[in-house]
Amino acid sequence: MHRLLKRQIKKILGEAYLSDMKFQNFFQLISDFYDEKDKERRLLENALEINSLEVNEANDKLQKMAFYDSLTGLTNRKLFEEELKLTLNQLQRNKRNIALLFFDLDNFKTVNDTLGHDIGDSLLIKIGGMIQKRIRSCDTLARWGGDEFVLLLDELHQIEDCSLIVENIQKAFKYPIKVKGHELQVSFSIGINVYEEGQSSSEMIKNADMAMYKAKENGKNSYAFYTSEIGKKVLSSVKMNTALLKAIENHEFIVMYQPQIEISTGKIVGAEALVRWMHPEDGLIAPNDFIPISEEKGHIIEIGKQVLEQACYDMKEWVTKGYGLKTMAVNLSVKQIRQKEFIEMVKDILVKTKLDSSYLEFEVTETIVMKEYEHTFHTLDTLRDLGITLSIDDFGTGYSSLSYLKKLPIDKIKIDKSFIDDISDDENDVAITKAIIAMSHSLGLNVLAEGVEEESQLKILKELKCEKYQGYYFSRPVPADEFEALLKEQK
């Protein structure tokens, strides 16, 4: 008897009826009915279960079809657009550099026409996988359609990094790709749009697409930036980098000298070596326009070496000629100091130019010595042991504290131009300058004031017992021959 029926009989009629023979046949009849119903119920349950599995699977498939490219399995255009919008929304809260790249395969039509769509399809799948391997997990690669791919680069440390990623991808396609027994050489034209505040997702795509056409015009296998203001900057920094490499090789740098004057005598006692770049087409370029990028890219190490050698060479000549010059000041960048070979390089140059080390002075900024104290201390100490003097450049703009200064192996302080600028009419600047000079003297340090442009400034500095000054009031930085002429005048 069906267990449900048993339970019902017990409940309604009482347990005694279950064993009553008069009711047995009747119960059996109903029991069959119960069994029948039960079977139906089970069948129905199973059917429902199967159904929901099928629905899920079908949904997944639909979802995939809607958001992923059926050939390559990459994100498709629709999902990419959604993701781009989402990223742009997030940018308002979490500011970061992003860039959109538009890839168009060069000569894909030829592959399709000559080898057939089958090979063409396999090639696209392979390419998708190869690009995917060279991007980071925060980036999104999508197939835009046909032979076009789009790439969203997120979380770029600096916008210049997109050139590195592109070049890395291009490198992957340097050699032919094997597809079903064929060897195919693949290259792309790539357009890059670096995100700028206010751009919409569709503008980003449109700009990258426009840049891609520019890349095609430049010749295949190349990339181009959408040249908005930021784009122009990236482009020029990329160009700048190549130009700098060439400049180093061709020794395009020249060194100018700005006189350092002893206030008590009015005589030139030193020179600061200041580099300029004599660009073959663009003419003279100021250090502020190429030193920062040279520091970033590490070119400053080679440029600094060329400047040091030239400065020591010229100084040796002026010392020999007896102009009474005591100091040749050369600016140092932190990249140079950090270099292991730095000390050896300095020694080599002193030997080569036969300049006595006591004539050489290195200028370092406060920030270098403060930030890199542990690293640079040893190097600065060694330089000092060699007999070279050290000065703190742009003093007052960093965070030096008096106690720190005492610990540093330095001989001289150069008060930054910003304090000198208003010294004739700002009581505060006079007070600060006075304090810096008094403090330096108590520490046994010499003081030089930078950027002196007027007689009134010089007068105050004299009253404050500042030892030396530098500035347009006496002379701008000038080429070596003009500097020598100034020396001759005072002999």
Minimum CB separation of residue 472 from ligand C2E in Å reads 4
Nearest in space to 143 (alpha carbons), one of 128, 165, 126: 128
Give the Cα-Cα-Cα angle 147, 152, 157 (nearest 5 degrees): 140
Site size with ligand C2E, rule: CB under 6 A: 21
Beta bridge partners of 75: 68, 142
Tokens (6 digits) for 177? 């790709």
What is the per-residue binding string for Ca ion in 357-386, x denoting contact by CB under 5 A?
Answer: ------x-----------------------
- Give the Cα separation of 294 and 488 in Å (integer): 35
Is the torsion defined by CA of 392, 394, 395, 398 positive or negative?
Answer: negative
DSSP 372: T
What is the per-residue binding string for ligand C2E in 377-416, x denoting contact by CB under 6 A?
Answer: ----------------xx----------------------
Toward ligand C2E, which CB reaches closer, 121 or 453?
453
Site size with Ca ion, rule: CB under 5 A: 5
Restricted to residues 425-454, the positions that interact with ligand C2E (CB under 6 A) are: 451-453
Tokens (6 digits) for 420? 């000198």
- Assess 331 for contact with Ca ion (CB under 5 A): yes
Toward Ca ion, which CB reaches closer, 69 or 393?
393
Strand 182-184 vs strand 389-395: parallel, antiparallel, or unpaired?
unpaired
451 interacts with, out of ligand C2E, Ca ion, none, CB within 5 to 8 A per kind: ligand C2E
Toward ligand C2E, which CB reaches closer, 74 or 346?
346
The amino acid occupying position 151 is L
- Give the Cα separation of 225 and 280 in Å (integer): 25
Nearest in space to 256 (alpha carbons), one of 347, 329, 354, 356: 329
Contact 77, 146 (CB under 8 A): no
435 interacts with, out of ligand C2E, Ca ion, none, CB within 5 to 8 A per kind: none
Restricted to residues 225-264, the positions that interact with ligand C2E (CB under 6 A) are: 258
- Assess 120 for contact with ligand C2E (CB under 6 A): no
Restricted to residues 453-482, the positions that interact with ligand C2E (CB under 6 A) are: 453, 470-472, 477
CA end-to-end distance (rounded Å), the chain: 131
- Find how far residue 313's CA is from the centre of its chain: 36
Minimum CB separation of residue 421 from Ca ion in Å reads 13
Nearest in space to 299 (alpha carbons), one of 361, 359, 218, 237: 237
Stretch in the footprint of Ca ion (CB under 5 A) among 127-135, 180-188, 246-254, 390-398: 390-398
Stretch in the footprint of Ca ion (CB under 5 A) among 153-161, 280-288, 338-346, 443-451: 443-451
Nearest in space to 247 (alpha carbons), one of 280, 208, 292: 280
Toward ligand C2E, which CB reaches closer, 258 or 389?
258
Minimum CB separation of residue 405 from Ca ion in Å reads 17
Burial-class residue 150 by CB neighbours within 10 Å (0-12, 13-18, 19+). Answer: buried
Toward ligand C2E, which CB reaches closer, 72 or 470?
470
- Give the Cα separation of 147 and 124 in Å (integer): 7
- Give the Cα separation of 248 and 240 in Å (integer): 12
Phi, psi values for residue 341, rounded to 5°: -85, 5
Give the Cα-Cα-Cα angle 114, 119, 120 (nearest 5 degrees): 80
Stretch in the footprint of Ca ion (CB under 5 A) among 16-24, 369-377, 389-397, 453-461: 389-397
286 interacts with, out of ligand C2E, Ca ion, none, CB within 5 to 8 A per kind: ligand C2E
- Assess 394 for contact with Ca ion (CB under 5 A): yes
Minimum CB separation of residue 237 from ligand C2E in Å reads 18
Stretch in the footprint of Ca ion (CB under 5 A) among 84-92, 120-128, 284-292, 329-337: 329-337
What is the per-residue binding string for ligand C2E in 175-214, x denoting contact by CB under 6 A?
Answer: ----------------------------------------
- Give the Cα separation of 413 and 432 in Å (integer): 14
Q: How many helices (H) and strands (E) does the chain have?
A: 19, 17
Tokens (6 digits) for 343? 């000390």
Restricted to residues 267-306, the positions that interact with ligand C2E (CB under 6 A) are: 274-275, 286-288, 291, 300, 304
Minimum CB separation of residue 384 from ligand C2E in Å reads 19
How many CB atoms lie under 10 A from the CB of residue 334? 18
453 interacts with, out of Ca ion, ligand C2E, none, CB within 5 to 8 A per kind: ligand C2E
Minimum CB separation of residue 147 from ligand C2E in Å reads 47
274 interacts with, out of Ca ion, ligand C2E, none, CB within 5 to 8 A per kind: ligand C2E
Query: Would you tell me which residues interact with Ca ion (CB under 5 A)?
Result: 331, 363, 393-394, 450
Query: Would you tell me which residues interact with ligand C2E (CB under 6 A)?
Result: 258, 274-275, 286-288, 291, 300, 304, 307, 331, 333, 393-394, 451-453, 470-472, 477
